[in-house]
Each structure stands twice: as structure tokens, then as C-alpha cells.
């Protein structure tokens, strides 16, 4: 019997026995649904982290000199934490040394941040990301100014209390009022707003627009860091190859400034986009390791259910098998008929699972900041698993059907 | 004389049953010529169903030989027997044995499916076979939508659609009332007369057996009489 006729026959059987078919589909359905949903979400995250997150947080061809790693997977342990605490601070002078050592095509900036309270009139908010920076930071971050201007090197030199604020800060403190020229108190210090940065959006639902950026020399330095100490020094190189050269260069500058001997490890850290990516890749790996177990269990259960349903079907249709044999069906015809039926069942489950999985991923995307990305491979895999489970689960029942004695089968009531 | 369609020599079939052996057939020698219309009679337990199963290649003998259309089939494997059933034998059962979910047309098509014929040719031949038993207008009906007599006519169409060497009818009227039985017997007679179809019919009703030209009676697994009806 040609395969398409066998499939049509099997689909007819599924339609005729809807409830029973539904139960036998459930296992394959759930397994494949998980597969598709998880892969879609992880893949969406993947794309998001690579394209959006890493670029937004770190920027392309950008690295940051930090006292300790900015992103860390798992618990580094108390000993490591203590070692990090013993590391020397980074100072404004380190910034000047790095700036002097790199060509002008490189952008170098200080960034020191803290949460601080902002107050305008009667409005106040405790959680504003307040940063003390040098002027290149705006270029490194590629901040477009929506209103007003950024501060000048002169304002940095004179420790002017001027501030450029994010869109959220502008909207929440200056509703209906032009923020530029107005005063905002940051950690108690009065600042004049000179500019507003265009909306940056959010990552994982966290707004990137709740910030205020002031010269690192201005009044807030008192609440951000000890005197002359900075959080990080950010370097952006014009392209990728020069970034790695610059990293080597900065590393040797910092080592010599910290008087490290060749055998000693760095007592500072260069954070790059790759750190975020490798952090994410570790999470993705955990998810991808757990996924096959989840999917596997559902499929095994689904396979057992299908096998039982098929055994019942063979018993119920003994007479039909006898009739088919009397009309000339060979063992392999009967075997193929039941294998196709079983595979069709589980594949139908898999197809429904793919639809539900995509729906689930879409739902997750709609109600959470998590993105989704459809992986064609996971759909192919889902179908292949459906067919495979059906065939494996169908082998035993189908071979029992094929071996039935026609005389006994015809006599079966 | 032409070669017999069916020739059995000392055909024997034993069944093991609870440690004992039931000897259902004890050496049956039977020859049936082409175009014959034979009824096999006998009381229950006489071995007529066993003989029917052996002639129909649904079962293999314990001992003895069986030639069907010149080929020895008594030593064939399951799949070879399936092929023989498909090409040479058309079954008509007491309980019709139609597939309940399939239409009349599809039921008749089924042997041709296993013969590997393309769909278009199958449909055409199945439609012709149904028309020849007077069911040209019932092709899309399912068995449940047909009367008993109509169902048996579908089964006859299914039996003859492959143009088999023999039609084996096992109590073909056993589940039908007398009027419908006569109708079915007329169709078989017609097949025999116009197509020269060889028919072997198992029955325990003398009324039905008289339609055949030759009556073979079994008793205790052996042939007790073999009579030609006076022409």
C-alpha cells in the first residue's frame, strides 16, 4: 500500500477515535511543545543578548578596566572575594595614563556610578543611576542628545554642577516643563540640567533611561567614590583588531602602574562584551542540558501511551487484520499499516506541539520582557522526534498484528 | 481433461488441543476442475471449515499435498500464501467481513490495493465489480448503511474483483433470510454460468447445496460421499 494511502487511512482512524487519539497524542504533544517553547525562548534570548544587550551595556569594540569582573557566573567563593577586595583601587591618574598612551582615534572615559536620590520641588525618587563621567562617555555610549547639550571639557575642569539626564528622569521630574535650565538635586547637591538623552529603551524590562550623568569632578564625586578613585575606565577602539592591541597595551600600563612582577596575576580586570556573552552562554548551556531530559521524559511517557493504545487497537481490530490477510495482505503490509498509524498519531501530536510551543513562546514574549526566536532546526527536530517515537512505540504492536494467524483472526469476535 | 484447479492428496490437519491431538482432516483426496460449482457439506465438526481454510490458503496442512492451479501451495511461507490468496482466491464469508469504516467501493478495492494496482485502475475495476452485483448506486455507502443482502453482494464483488481462480464461499447465506439467500445464490449461479467462475461453497444447508452441481460430503475428517447432480 502506498505510504500516502496508509497515512490517509491512519488519519481517518484518528478522526474516528478522537478521544483515544487525543490521549495518545498528549505525550508527544507535551514533549515537542516544551522543546519548541524552550528553544524559541533561549534562541530569542541568545539573539537579544548578542545583538542588543551586550551592545547596549558594553558597546561594540569596547572594554572596561575594572577592579573586579563586572559579570560573574555562579559564586566565585569567599577567598576570591577577599582577594578582589584587597586589589588596589583605580584612580583618575590611571585614566590619564591610558588616555595619554592610546592614539586619538580611541575614546577613553571615566565612569563612576551609584544610586542616588533625586529631588525636584516636591517630587523625589530614590533610585537614579548617578554617574560621574568624562566627556568621551557620550560618544562611547553613542548617546544622542534629544534636548540641550552635553558638558564641555571646561565644565569638567571647573567641576561644574551640570547634568545630562535620561528620558525617564526628564519625564518623571519635569512633566510638561522643559528640563533644560532647571535644577535637580542629586544626593542633595543642586545641579543644572543642560541636556536630555534620547530614549534608550530597556533590557529584560529594566529601563536604561533612569540615569543622570555629571562631570566626574563635580559635587557628586563625594557620594560616588573616595577622592580621585573611579569605578571604571572605558576604552572604545575604532575597530576590533585594534581593540585587542589596546587591551594588551592597557594591561601592560596597568601592570606597571601597579608594580606587578611577571609571575603575578593581574590585580584588575578588563571587561568586554565577550564576558557578558560567555556568561549568557553558560546559562544557555544549562538550559540546553536540562531540555533534553524534560523532552525525553515526555516522549518516553508518550511512547508508552502510544504503544498501549496501539496494542489495544490491534486487539480490537483483530478481525480487520484477518480480513486484510485473507485478501492478500502480507506481514509487511500489516506491519507498515500499524507503524504508519502509530507514527501518524505521534507526528500529529508533534505538529500540535510545535504550534502550541510557538504559541507558548509568543505568550511568554507578550507577558514578559523575554524575547523569542523561532529555530527552524527545532521544528525539524520536533517532527523527527514525533515520527521516531511513533515508529519505536509502534514496532511491538505492529509486529504482533503482522504475526496474527489469519484463521484465528477471522474467527475473532 | 484439463488440469484441476484444486488437487489435494491425503490432506491432513491435526490441531494440538490440551495435550491431545484433534485430527480435523484425516487424508482428503479431492480434485476440482475449472468451472465447477461444488458444495462441501457435513455436520459441524466434520472438518469442512478446516478444509475450507486449507483450500483458501489461510492455513497449511500437517501432512499431504495441495496444488492450486498447478502450483503446490502446501509448503509455502506466510507471505507466499498471502500472494496466492490475493491472486487466486476470492473469499465470501458468512459474516461478510467488510471493513466497517470503509465505503463499499473501498472495501472492493482492498484486494487490488494489496495487488499493488494504481488507484485509478483500482477504482475503475471496483466500480465495475460493484455494478456487476447490482450495487452501482451504492458505492459510497458504508456497510452499516446497507442491508445484509447488499453487504454480501459487496463481499461477492470484492471476491471477484481480482478475477480469482476460485471463489470460496463459507456459509454465504448463513446470516441471511431465505428471500435474500435466494438472491445471493442467484448471483453466484450467474457468476458460474456467465463467467465460468469456479465456486467452492461450504454449507450445512441442503437447500443451499442443491444450487451446486456437485456435492462433497465430509464426515469425521474424511470424504464420505462425492456426488454429481444429475444434469
**SS3 per residue for chain A:** CCHHHHHHHHHHHHHHCHHHHHHHHHHHHHHHHHHHHHHHHHHHHHHHHHHHHHHHHCCCCEEEEECCCCCCCCCCCHHHHHHHHHCCCEEHHHHHHHHHHCCCCCEEEEEEEEEEEEEECCEEEEEEEEEEECCHHHHHCCCCEEEECCCCHHHHHCCCCEEEECHHHHHHHCCCCCCCCCEEEECCEEEEEEEEECCCCEECCEECCCEEEEECCCCCHHHHCCCCEECEEEEECCCHHHHHHHHHHHHHHHHHHCCCCCCCCCCCEEEEHHHHHHHHHHHHHHHHHHHHHHHHHHHHHHHHHHHHHHHHHHHHCHHHHHHHHHCCCCHHHHHHHHHHHHHHHHHHHHHHHHHHHHHHHHHHHHHCCCCCCCCHHHHHHHHHHHHHHHHHHHHHHHHHHHHCCHHHHHHCC
pLDDT band at A56 (very low <50, low <70, confident <90, very high): low
pLDDT band with cut points at 50, 70 and 90 for residue A72: low
More confident site: A5 or B112: B112
Count, residues in chain A = 413
Is the model's pLDDT at A320 over the cut of 90? yes
Beta-carbon separation of A406 and B93 below 8 A: no
Q: Tell me how many residue pairs between chain A and chain B have CB atoms under 8 A apart.
A: 61
Contact between B99 and A320 using a beta-carbon 8 Å cutoff: yes
Distance separating alpha carbons of residues A344 and A398, to the nearest angstrom: 14
Whether residue A292 is predicted with pLDDT greater than 70 in this model: the reply is: yes
Nearest C-alpha neighbor of B216 from the set B207, B208, B224, B205 = B224
Residue A50 clears pLDDT 80, i.e. is over it: no
Q: How far apart are CA A272 and CA A250, in angstroms?
A: 13
What pLDDT is attached to residue A71? 66
**Whole-number pLDDT of residue B207:** 87
**Has residue A140 got a pLDDT over 80?**
yes
Q: How far is CA B200 from the centre of its chain?
A: 6
Chain B residues in contact with A13 by the CB 8 A cut-off are 101
Exposure b/e, A313-333, CB count within 10 A at least 16 = b: bbeebbbbbbbbbbbbbbbeb
pLDDT at A392: 94
Helices (H) and strands (E) in chain B, counts: 7, 10
Q: Are B204 and B42 in contact (CB under 8 A)?
A: yes
Instruction: Specify the range with the lowest mean pLDDT, choosing from A86-100, A131-145, A299-313, A360-374.
Output: A360-374
Q: What is the mean pLDDT of residues B132-160?
A: 94
Please state, in angstroms and rounded to a whole number, the distance separating the CA atoms of residues B134 and B150: 9
pLDDT of residue B216: 95
Whether the Cβ atoms of residue A184 and residue A191 lie closer than 8 Å to each other: yes
**CB neighbour list of residue A255: distance below 8 Å, 6 or more residues apart:** A266
CB A410 within 8 A of CB A323: yes
Residue B113 has pLDDT above 80, yes or no: yes
pLDDT of residue A76: 74
Using 50, 70 and 90 to split pLDDT, how confident is the model at B230? low
- Mutation for testing the B interface, residue in A6, A326, A399, A407 having most B CBs under 10 Å: A326
Give the three cell numbers for residue B184: 445471493
Distances (CA, A) of B146 to A319, B9, B106, B153: 20, 42, 14, 10
Q: Where are the beta strands (DSSP E) in chain B?
A: 6-17, 20-32, 37-41, 63-68, 71-72, 89-92, 166-170, 198-202, 214-219, 222-228
What's the pLDDT score for residue B181? 92
A331 → chain B, closest CA residue: B79
- Give every CB contact of residue A241 below 8 A, 6+ residues apart in sequence: none
pLDDT band at A55 (very low <50, low <70, confident <90, very high): low
Q: How far apart are CA B212 and CA B229, in angstroms?
A: 8
Q: What is the pLDDT of residue B149?
A: 92
CB contact under 8 A, B85 and A331: no
Residue of B91, B97, B105 to mutate, testing the A interface (most A Cβ within 10 Å of its Cβ): B97
Q: Do the Cβ atoms of A220 and A187 come closer than 8 Å? A: yes
pLDDT at A3: 78
- Cα B159-B165-B169 angle, rounded to 5 deg: 45
Q: In the prediction, which pLDDT does A243 show? A: 87
Instruction: Closest CB to B79: pick one of A13, A326, A330.
Output: A330
pLDDT computed for residue A361 by the predictor: 85
Nearest to A62 by CA among A236, A247, A250: A236
The predicted model gives A76-103 an average pLDDT of: 87
| Tens digit of each residue's pLDDT (9 = 90 or more) over A235-287 | 998 887 888 889 999 999 999 999 998 888 888 888 887 777 777 788 888 88
pLDDT of B11 over the 90 cut: yes
The region that residue B15 occupies, defined by phi over 0 for left and psi between -120 and 50 for alpha, beta otherwise, is beta
Most A CBs within 10 A among B44, B114, B175, hence the mutation to make, goes to B114
Specify the DSSP class assigned to residue B144.
G
| For range A340-354, the mean pLDDT | 91
Confidence of residue B1 (pLDDT cuts 50, 70, 90): low
Mean pLDDT value of segment B64-73: 93
The span from the CA of A19 to the CA of B190, in Å, is 46
pLDDT of amino acid A42? 81
> Which 8-state DSSP code applies to residue B169?
E
Give the mean pLDDT of chain B: 92
Whether A325 sits inside 8 A of B85 (CB atoms) is yes
Select from A142, A15, A1, A32 the least CA-distant residue to A390: A32
Confidence of residue A401 (pLDDT cuts 50, 70, 90): very high
Show Cβ contacts of residue A85 under 8 Å, excluding neighbours closer than 6 positions.
none
Is residue A80's pLDDT more than 70?
yes
Flag if A327 and B110 touch (Cβ within 8 Å): yes
> How close A302 comes to chain B (CA, Å)?
27
Check pLDDT > 60 for residue B231: no
A328 vs B93: CB contact, 8 Å cut-off?
no
Beta carbons of B53 and B8 less than 8 angstroms apart: no
CA B78 to each of CA A329, A353, B52, B178: distance values in angstroms, whole numbers, following the listed order: 10, 40, 17, 38
Distance CA A328, CA A330 (A): 6
In chain B, pLDDT over 70 holds for what percent of residues? 99
Residues in chain B: 231
> What are the tens digits of pLDDT across the range A324-333?
999 999 999 9
- pLDDT category at A390 given cuts 50, 70, 90 is very high
Structure ipTM? 0.94
Distance from CA of B52 to the nearest CA of A (A): 10
**Which residues are CB-neighbours of A283 under 8 A, at least 6 positions away?**
A73
Measured between beta carbons, the chain A residues lying within 8 angstroms of B99 are: 320, 323
pLDDT attached to residue A283: 80
Q: How far apart are CA B120 and CA B141, in angstroms?
A: 19
Question: Over chain A, what is the mean pLDDT?
Answer: 86
Q: Is B15 helix (H, G, I), strand (E, B) or coil?
A: strand
Per-residue model confidence (pLDDT) at position B52: 93
| pLDDT tens digits for range A229-241 | 888 899 998 887 8
How high is the pLDDT of residue A266? 87
Average pLDDT for A355-370: 84
Q: Whole-angstrom Cα distance, residue A358 to residue A371?
A: 12
State mean pLDDT over A171-192. Answer: 89
Q: Do B110 and A320 touch (CB under 8 A)?
A: no
Interface of A with B (CB under 8 A): 1, 5, 12-13, 16, 319-320, 322-333, 405-407, 410
Task: Please give the Cα distance from A285 to A37 (Å, whole number).
Answer: 16
Residue A159 has pLDDT above 60, yes or no: yes
Q: What is the per-residue pLDDT for A123? A: 85
Confidence label for A197 from pLDDT (cuts 50, 70 and 90): very high
* Confidence at A204, pLDDT banded by 50, 70, 90: low
Locate B106 and state its grid cell: 473501498
- Residue A156 CB coordination number (10 Å): 20
| Percent of chain A residues topping a pLDDT of 70 | 96
Q: Which residues pair with A202 in a beta bridge?
A: A207
Amino acid at each position: 500500500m502506498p505510504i500516502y494511502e496508509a497515512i490517509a487511512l491512519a488519519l481517518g482512524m484518528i478522526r474516528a477515535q478522537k478521544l483515544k487519539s487525543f490521549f495518545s497524542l498528549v505525550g508527544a504533544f507535551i514533549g515537542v511543545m516544551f522543546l519548541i517553547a524552550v528553544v524559541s525562548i533561549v534562541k530569542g534570548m541568545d539573539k537579544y543578548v548578542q545583538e542588543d544587550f551586550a551592545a547596549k551595556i558594553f558597546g561594540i569594540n569596547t572594554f572596561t578596566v575594572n577592579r573586579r569582573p563586572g559579570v560573574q557566573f555562579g559564586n566565585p567563593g569567599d577567598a576570591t572575594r577577599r582577594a578582589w577586595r584587597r586589589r588596589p583601587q583605580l584612580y583618575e591618574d590611571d585614566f590619564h595614563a591610558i588616555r595619554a598612551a592610546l592614539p586619538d582615534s580611541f575614546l577613553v572615559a571615566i565612569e563612576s556610578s551609584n544610586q542616588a536620590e533625586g529631588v525636584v520641588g516636591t517630587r523625589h525618587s530614590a533610585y537614579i543611576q548617578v554617574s560621574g563621567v568624562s566627556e568621551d562617555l557620550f560618544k562611547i555610549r553613542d548617546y544622542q542628545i534629544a534636548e540641550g547639550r552635553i558638558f564641555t571639557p571646561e565644565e569638567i575642569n571647573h567641576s561644574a554642577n551640570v547634568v545630562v539626564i535620561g528620558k525617564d528622569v526628564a519625564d518623571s521630574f519635569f512633566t510638561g516643563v522643559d528640563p533644560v535650565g532647571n535644577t535637580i538635586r542629586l544626593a542633595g547637591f543642586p545641579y543644572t540640567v543642560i541636556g536630555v538623552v534620547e530614549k534608550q529603551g530597556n533590557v529584560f524590562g529594566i529601563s536604561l533611561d533612569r540615569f543622570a550623568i555629571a562631570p566626574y569632578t563635580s559635587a557628586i564625586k563625594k557620594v560616588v567614590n573616595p577622592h580621585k578613585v573611579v569605578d571604571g575606565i572605558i576604552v572604545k577602539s575604532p575597530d576590533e583588531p585594534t581593540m585587542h592591541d589596546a587591551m594588551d597595551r592597557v594591561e601592560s600600563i596597568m601592570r606597571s602602574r601597579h608594580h606587578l612582577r611577571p609571575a603575578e596575576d593581574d590585580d584588575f580586570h578588563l571587561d568586554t562584551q565577550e564576558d557578558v556573552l560567555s556568561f549568557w552562554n553558560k546559562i544557555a548551556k544549562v538550559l540546553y542540558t536540562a531540555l533534553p531530559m524534560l523532552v525525553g521524559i515526555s516522549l518516553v511517557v508518550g511512547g508508552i501511551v502510544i504503544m498501549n493504545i496501539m496494542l489495544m487497537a490491534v486487539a480490537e481490530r483483530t478481525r480487520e487484520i484477518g480480513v486484510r490477510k485473507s485478501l492478500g495482505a502480507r506481514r509487511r503490509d500489516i506491519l507498515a499499516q500499524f507503524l504508519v498509524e502509530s507514527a501518524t498519531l505521534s507526528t500529529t501530536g508533534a505538529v500540535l506541539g510545535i504550534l502550541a510551543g510557538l504559541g507558548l513562546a509568543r505568550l511568554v514574549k507578550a507577558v514578559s520582557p523575554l524575547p523569542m526566536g523561532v529555530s527552524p532546526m527545532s521544528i525539524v527536530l520536533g517532527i523527527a522526534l514525533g515520527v521516531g517515537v511513533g515508529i519505536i512505540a509502534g514496532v511491538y504492536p505492529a509486529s504482533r498484528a503482522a504475526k496474527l494467524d489469519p484463521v484465528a483472526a477471522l474467527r475473532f469476535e | 481433461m484439463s488440469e484441476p484447479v484444486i488437487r489435494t492428496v491425503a490432506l491432513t490437519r491435526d490441531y494440538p488441543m490440551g495435550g491431545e491431538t484433534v485430527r480435523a482432516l484425516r487424508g482428503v483426496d479431492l480434485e476440482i476442475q475449472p468451472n465447477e460449482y461444488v458444495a462441501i457439506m457435513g455436520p459441524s465438526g466434520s472438518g469442512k471449515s478446516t478444509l475450507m481454510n486449507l483450500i483458501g490458503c489461510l492455513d497449511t496442512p500437517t501432512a499431504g499435498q495441495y496444488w492450486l492451479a498447478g502450483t503446490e501451495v502446501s509448503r509455502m511461507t506466510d507471505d507466499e500464501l498471502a500472494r496466492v490468496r490475493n491472486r487466486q482466491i476470492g473469499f465470501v464469508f458468512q459474516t461478510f467481513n467488510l471493513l466497517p469504516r470503509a465505503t463499499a467501493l473501498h472495501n472492493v478495492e482492498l484486494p487490488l490495493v494489496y495487488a499493488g494496482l494504481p488507484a485509478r485502475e483500482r477504482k475503475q475495476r471496483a466500480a465495475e465489480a460493484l455494478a456487476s452485483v447490482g450495487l452501482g448506486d451504492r458505492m459510497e455507502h458504508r456497510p452499516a448503511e446497507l442491508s445484509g443482502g447488499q453487504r454480501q453482494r459487496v463481499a461477492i464483488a470484492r471476491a471477484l474483483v481480482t478475477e480469482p481462480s476460485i471463489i470460496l464461499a463459507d456459509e454465504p447465506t448463513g446470516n441471511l433470510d431465505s428471500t435474500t439467500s435466494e438472491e445471493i445464490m442467484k448471483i453466484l449461479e450467474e457468476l458460474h454460468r456467465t463467467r465460468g467462475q469456479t465456486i467452492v461453497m461450504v454449507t450445512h444447508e441442503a437447500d443451499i447445496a442443491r444450487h451446486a452441481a456437485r456435492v462433497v460430503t465430509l464426515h469425521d475428517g474424511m470424504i464420505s460421499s462425492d456426488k454429481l447432480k444429475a444434469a
